[in-house]
Structure 1
Amino acid sequence: MSRTTYTCHCGAVIQYNHDLEKEPGTVSRNWNCADCGTRVPNTIAERIQHQHPS
């Protein structure tokens, strides 16, 4: 399986769990870029959540 990456509007490459922040106070999972706070699409974020640097 290939790795999923996402390039945020701020230019950050999101590819691991530590690159994401869960949006507080929401019932459903909403993920944001850890650098700028821009929302990351849920389907992409869920894939990235399972990736670990190795």
Structure 2
Amino acid sequence: MTVKTAYAVLPAEVKAEAAAVRAEHAMSIAILAREFRSRVAVGEQKTLALLNEIRR
């Protein structure tokens, strides 16, 4: 069974944009991934709060 990383399945244009951001801000892929995950988590929290508010 072949295991693919999340990075391996990203479209080429996303990889290119990530490379540009990393270069511009002198970030490693690990730091960029952590930043992305934290921003997604914040977005999910806001979305969940909004959905909870709508349900009430």
User: Above 0.5 in TM-score?
Assistant: no
Structure in which a larger fraction of residues adopt helix: 2
Q: TM-score, normalised by structure 1?
A: 0.29
TM-score (norm 2): 0.28
* Higher RCO (CA-CA < 8 Å; seq separation 6+): 1
| Structure with higher strand content | 1
Largest Rg, 1 or 2 = 2
